[in-house]
Amino acid sequence: MKRILIIGVGAQGSTIAKRLNEESNVKEIICADYDLKAAVSMGESLSKGKAVQINAREISDIVKVADGVDIIVNGLPIEHNINVMAGALEVGAAYLDLCMTVIPGQTSEASNRYMFSIQNDKFKEKGVLALTNTGSAPGLANIIARESVDKMDACDRIEMNVYEGVWSKKFIPFWWSPVVAFEDMAETPTRFKNGKHVGTSPFANPVMMKFKGIDKEIRMVDHSHEEPITMGINANEYLKGAKDIIFRYGGPHVELAEALYKMGFLSSEEREYKGMKYVPFDLVINHTPDAPKYEDEIKEIIDEGLFTEEGAFQVLVEGQKNGKPIKITNYVNTPGLIEAFEKSGLTHESYLTGQCAFIFTKMLVNDVIKQTGVIAPEVLGKTERDYFFREAEKLMITIDETIE
């Protein structure tokens, strides 16, 4: 039976904890957070829970709390990944996170090449696994892409297109961390183009797209995301030589961010106005409502009403099979906001991302993944992917596939 440490019990960490509490192979779930109240609240709600306060900026504190655990789930913002991985290495625990690691002073590509080489060697030497990027996108998107690629002789192009169309009467600009959302929006997107990582610009390459079940065309733009980076690095070995990999995003939240970006409000450079110094990004964050995470908050939003409740999560893969072109289009089916809340008390965003991260964690709990070292989900083989898809279906997350 496994002892699991979850560092960061926000929306995703708490979802993972609640699901793990139902697993027979889990002995103890240590809920750790800098906010002791949040940790205690989560720990006391679980029959297998224990609460501790942790300062993830100190590796020694992580090591102290992690002593004797088998798996560390990192639910913290991206800047803590290096420290939490260091703690996992020191105690010899398996590691899992939901987002790409970026090393200060290095590009996203350079940071991940370090992860899949130097850091990979360290985890292999310890004989443990570090599974990174394990939410919905990245995470689910990666294994869908790999599943489609494996049906081809060669892969030419992988597109991931996410349309977020849930817009409530109560102003909720993002259903996850506004800080992370606006930071991502302002970053330079990366495409894997002609076999090389290439930076574009925020909101670049707009295209109008028609998605299944949506009665209008959606404006989709380049967006800074993990998939083109890790999948580009893994293209030759695991994705049959894919040459072009892109991630697009669209919806009213993107349009809001684009307007703010073009007006300079997503800049982190200090400015002055009438003798007062200010940072535009900080000003925006100060005026942006947090994403709802408590049941009463979510219920209030739903009761007030929604303008739209729609969306699309598409993974499109093109390549060659038996000398002929082949295109595989995948759509993810998952509960919307109202259904997700009725079933679990979560928003649609927390439901999909948290449940996917839980399944990846469950794979570690049940020793489904045999690799060691640092890997992204597109590296997982057929047995592991089949396990994931079976577990996802139990949680009402399914894939519609069309082959042309």
Domain encompassing residue 21: 2-97
- pLDDT value, residue 392: 97
Of 68, 97, 126, the one marking the end of a domain is 97
Write the pLDDT tens digit of every residue in 25-60.
Answer: 999 999 999 999 989 999 999 999 999 999 999 999
Give the whole-angstrom CA distance, residue 258 versus residue 375.
33
Do 85 and 206 lie in one domain? The reply is no
* pLDDT value of position 78: 86
Q: What is the identity of the amino acid at 209? A: M
Q: Report if residue 109 sits inside a domain.
A: no
Indicate if 170 and 83 belong to the same structural domain.
Answer: no
Indicate whether 63 and 180 sit together in one domain: no
- For residue 31, the model assigns a pLDDT of 97
The answer to the question of residue 211 being in a domain is yes
**371 occurs within a structural domain:** no
**Can you give the pLDDT of all 404 residues of the chain as single tens digits?**
999 999 999 878 888 999 999 999 999 999 999 999 989 999 999 999 999 999 999 999 999 999 999 999 999 888 899 999 999 999 999 999 998 888 888 999 999 999 999 999 999 999 999 999 999 999 999 999 999 999 999 999 999 999 999 999 999 999 988 988 999 999 999 999 999 999 999 999 999 999 999 999 999 999 999 999 999 999 999 999 999 999 999 999 999 999 999 999 999 999 999 999 999 999 999 999 988 878 899 999 999 999 999 999 999 999 999 999 999 999 999 999 999 999 888 899 989 999 999 999 999 999 999 999 999 999 999 999 999 999 999 999 999 999 99
End residue of a domain, out of 39, 73, 97: 97
| Secondary structure (H, E, C), 200-227 | CCCCCCCEEECCCCCCCCEEEEECCCCH
Q: What is the pLDDT of residue 346?
A: 87
How far is it, in rounded angstroms, from Cα 187 to Cα 311?
23
Residue 331 has a pLDDT of 98
What digits encode the pLDDT tens for the residues 335-354? Answer: 999 999 998 888 999 899 99
Q: Quick one: 89 and 177 in the same domain? A: no
Claim to verify: residue 200 and residue 92 sit in the same structural domain:
no
Q: What CATH code is carried by the domain that includes residue 91? A: 3.40.50.720
- For the chain, the maximum distance between any two Cα atoms, rounded to a whole number of angstroms, is 68
Q: Are residues 299 and 166 in the same domain?
A: yes
Cβ neighbours for 399, distance < 8 A, ≥ 6 positions apart: 144, 330, 331, 332, 333, 389
Rounded to whole angstroms, the Cα distance separating 280 from 296 reads: 31
How far apart are the two ends of the chain, measured CA to CA in Å?
A: 45
Please name the residue that has the structure tokens 């029959």. Answer: 47
| Cβ atoms of residues 132 and 375 within 8 Å | yes
Q: Do 145 and 281 fall within a single domain?
A: yes
Could you tell me if residue 10 is inside a domain?
Answer: yes
209 shares its domain with 334: yes
pLDDT digits (tens, 9 = 90+) for 248-286: 999 999 999 999 999 999 999 999 999 999 999 999 999
Domain total in the chain: 2
Q: Which residue stretches of 101-219 are H helix?
A: 108-114, 120-126, 140-149, 178-186
In a shared domain, residues 74 and 193: no
Question: Which residue from 66, 250, 266 is spatially nearest to 183, judged by alpha carbons?
Answer: 266
368: in domain: no
Tell which of 75, 97, 119 closes a domain: 97
Asked if 45 and 177 sit in the same domain, the reply is no
Residues 290 and 208 in one domain: yes
Q: Say what the pLDDT of residue 242 is.
A: 98
Does 297 reside within a domain? yes
Domain assignment present for residue 276? The answer is: yes
Residue 151 falls within a domain, yes or no? yes
CATH code of residue 292: 3.30.360.10
* pTM greater than the 0.85 cutoff: yes
On whether both 77 and 188 belong to a single domain, the answer is no
